[in-house]
Amino acid sequence: MTAYLSLENVGMEFTRGKDRSVVLKDVGLKIDRGEFISIIGHSGCGKSTVLNVVAGLLRCTTGGVLLENREVDSPGPDRAVVFQNHSLLPWLTVYDNVRLGVDKVFGRTKSREERHEWTLRNLSLVHMDHAVRKYPEEISGGMKQRVGIARALAMEPKVLLMDEPFGALDALTRAHLQDSLMEIQTALGNTVIMITHDVDEAVLLSDRIVMMTNGPAATIGQVLEVPLKRPRRRLELAEDPTYTHCRGEVLRFLYERHRHAEAA
């Protein structure tokens, strides 16, 4: 059986003049439909490069990415991205930011009325019904990220790609958004790849955690299954032995076996 999404020996090299730097080497990963994967590693290890290759924003120099057995060679709405800094267009309202993607993806298949409904439905999925007419600068950072998620979800992606989606948020807001994301994922069963550097976030949200070694020539060091039942509740998990064990595994990987060179 072939995987839903598979990364096959993905390698990435940048050449600038005579300098050649290998960023990624032999990254191989198979992801099933409906799986929640997080990629964790020290900063600069090429996590975002992996995500950008899957998104099609970057082309890998060796290997390739297959989604439903078709090669990924350009960006597209079937691999919608939630960017770290939300990237909402400041001249469009919350509604119009989401609607832009909806119109683009469903312009031919859904009527105007249906697209309107669909836009609102996705905004209510992230609990943003109250602010549809607001502009991005009028809402908080957490809300902007919610809208960013709604925009990506509204394109009905086969894979939802999230590049440190909650990295810029304070701890409380981040927890709220993580809960929302789990709720949505339970309801919709999306396939998700999320980049993070937060160990708790990775364990709480993921089915599998992909840990990356340090660059240059970073690759996958270890893949950890998180056998926690869903729905997960952060309070109950705090003392759950499986949770503690998984958390320990990730920490050991990051701080014992692959300590950041500069941090050492």
Residues that bind other proteins (CB under 8 A): 55-57, 74-77, 79-81, 83, 85, 87, 89-91, 100-101, 104-105, 135, 137, 155
What DSSP string describes 46-75? SHHHHHHHHHTSS--SEEEEEETTEE--S-
Q: Taking the complex as a whole, how short is the minimal distance between the CB of residue 99 and other proteins, in angstroms?
A: 11
For the chain, what is the largest distance between any 2 Cα atoms, rounded to a whole number of angstroms?
58
Nearer to other proteins, 91 or 263 (CB): 91
Tell the burial category of 71 from Cβ atoms under 10 Å away from its Cβ (0-12, 13-18, 19+): exposed
Nearer to other proteins, 151 or 258 (CB): 151
Q: Taking the complex as a whole, how short is the minimal distance between the CB of residue 70 and other proteins, in angstroms?
A: 16
Nearer to other proteins, 66 or 100 (CB): 100
Nearer to other proteins, 155 or 226 (CB): 155
Measured CA to CA, the distance from residue 155 to residue 148 in angstroms comes to: 11
Measured in residues, the chain has a length of: 264
Q: CA 21, 166, 235 angle in degrees (round to 5)?
A: 125
Q: Taking the complex as a whole, how short is the minimal distance between the CB of residue 237 and other proteins, in angstroms?
A: 33
Query: Locate tokens 């920490």: which residue?
Result: 251
Q: Taking the complex as a whole, how short is the minimal distance between the CB of residue 135 and other proteins, in angstroms?
A: 5
Query: In 111-137, which positions are buried (b, 16+ CB within 10 angstroms) versus exposed (e)?
Result: eeeebeebbbebbebbebeebbeebbe
Nearer to other proteins, 2 or 109 (CB): 109
Q: Taking the complex as a whole, how short is the minimal distance between the CB of residue 179 and other proteins, in angstroms?
A: 26
